[in-house]
Each structure stands twice: as structure tokens, then as C-alpha cells.
Amino acid sequence: MTTVDNRPALNYAPIDVKPRRMNFPFTEVSSRYFYDNNLLKSAYMASLSATFPAGEGEFIDSVRLFRDKIVDPELKLQIKGFIGQEGHHSHQHKQFNKALKDLGFDAVRLEKVFEKDMQRVLKGKNDKTRLAFTVCFEHQTAILADEFLTNPKVLEGMDDTIADLMRWHAVEEIEHKGVAFDVYMSAVGDRKLLRRAQRIATIMFSARVAKYMMLLMWWSRTMPRWGDIKGYFKYMFGKGGLMRNLRKPYKDFFREDFHPWDHQNQALVDMWKQKYYQSKHDRGSEAYQQDKSAA
């Protein structure tokens, strides 16, 4: 297995990276206020979903640029699993975005806005920088995934179908959280570029989400109520809020010896399998069956 900073990378890849082909009953989502009956919280999640199809596609493309430079067979297998997982995330969020459009949140239109924004950012960027940005956004999604699965308040009040989508997505983000990093360290290895890219990526993410939330509300001709505003800021910045809880794991990225698997949270995957995934199979729910061809 490839070594990272003279440490055996096997210590940091404790989970097989294999895609699960899921299907979610998005037609059962009945309101654009699918998250705690709060317009801003719903718009936040909808804006994230709108970025996933093209964003995950860029993650795949940037890793593929370096796949032929990887000689380690185990990492090659993980790259294959990473591509499979990210590809299906893109597919499922496209379906969710179509459902949101039918409910009055035009996430499909927002997908196209994000695609144009992303192309402007990537224009002129070399392959190393593209992969560095992928590593940075993978860190952001991985720590968000951990919070989704460890903090029950984060998904409290969310429509069950969307909560299941987010948990599944979170689990697979955890499973492959070290893949892009290991590819980067094996093929590029420039940590200064990574830290610089993370600062830029963080600003871009914050600005885009705010912009996309506003667009969704503008297009749907809806304005947040005072209760929406209070609830959203408490959710984000209050005691135990999402942004507060992400602060420390986010900063870990800037350590000289950082690796995504420094935080061994694979137990969250097992928890999800037992509590959500396997239980749905046991009940025979076709909506959540795994496509055996993905195994």
C-alpha cells in the first residue's frame, strides 16, 4: 500500500470503498419546506444538492487525471470504488433535484448555474490544482458527513426520505474520505498547495451556498419568516450548531501531518448499516435495495 509521510497508508484505509446503488422515493416528498418546516434550512440543503451532480463529476475527473500514475493495487481499487460512489451520488441528487423543482425549488436550474460557476473557476487551472481542490472539498464533505451521523439534531425535522439520502451519502463520503488525499500525496505531495487551495475553497463554498439559497428563494418567490431566520442561525451558529461543531475538524486539515483517517470513524458506517440500511432490507423495501452489480 502507498505510504503517506513515511506512515503505512493501510493504517488509514480501514474500510472497503464499494458503491451501493440506492433508490429513494423522492415522489413522497410533499413540500419544499422539507427540513423542519424552515425555508432557509430547506434552501440550504437544496443548494447543496444542486452542486453535487457537477461537483462530484469534477471530483471523479480530477482523480482520473492521476489514476495512471498510481502503482499501488490497493489504492487503484479504492479509486475504482471512489468513482463508483461519487457517480451514484450524482445520479441520486439529480433525482432529488428534479423532485425539488416540482415542489417549487428549481434545483435543476441551479445545477446549470453551478456548472457555469465551476467552469469559470477551473478555467486555466492545471491538473494538480484541480486535484488539490477535490481533496479540499472532500475534507469539507467528510467532516460534514461525520456531523450528520453523530449529531442527531442535525437531521432532526427533515423529511424521512431526504434524511435517508443524506445518511447514505454521508456514509460513503466517510468510506472514501482518504482516496483523493492519498492520490494527491502519491502523485503531487505539495501540502502548501493544499492549504492554499483549502482557504480558497472555503470562501468559494460559503459564498456560493449563500448565493444559491437566495436564487432558490428568488425564483420561487418566497421570503423567509422571522422564525425561519432565527431557526436557521441557531442551527448553524448556536450552541452545538453545525458550523461551531465543524470548526475543529476543519482546522485539522492545516496540520503538517494531517491525514483524513487520523479520525477513525468507521464505526459510523457499521452503525448506519445496522440501524438504517439493513433494517430496510429486512422489511423488504424495494426502494432501498442494493444493486448486486455494484458489489
Tens-digit pLDDT profile for residues 40-65: 999 999 999 999 999 999 999 999 99
Lowest-pLDDT range of 8-12, 81-85, 99-103, 177-181? 8-12
Which DSSP string do the residues of 2-54 spell out, in sequence order? -EETTEEGGGG--S----------GGG---S-TBTT-HHHHHHHHHHHHHHHH
**pLDDT higher than threshold 60 for residue 4:** no
Confidence at residue 13, expressed as pLDDT on a 0 to 100 scale: 58
Q: What pLDDT, in 10s, does the model give residues 214-252?
A: 999 999 999 999 999 999 999 999 988 899 999 999 999
Q: In sequence order, what DSSP letters do the residues of 199-259 get, joined into one string?
A: HHHHHHHHHHHHHHHHHHHHHHT----HHHHHHHHHHHHSTT-HHHHHHHHHHHTTSTT--
Q: What is the mean pLDDT of the chain?
A: 89
Domain range annotation of the chain: 39-280
What CA dihedral angle connects 21, 24, 26 and 30, to 10 degrees?
Answer: -160
User: Mind listing the pLDDT tens digit for each residue in 193-220?
Assistant: 999 999 999 999 999 999 999 999 999 9
**What is the pTM (predicted TM-score) of this model?**
0.89
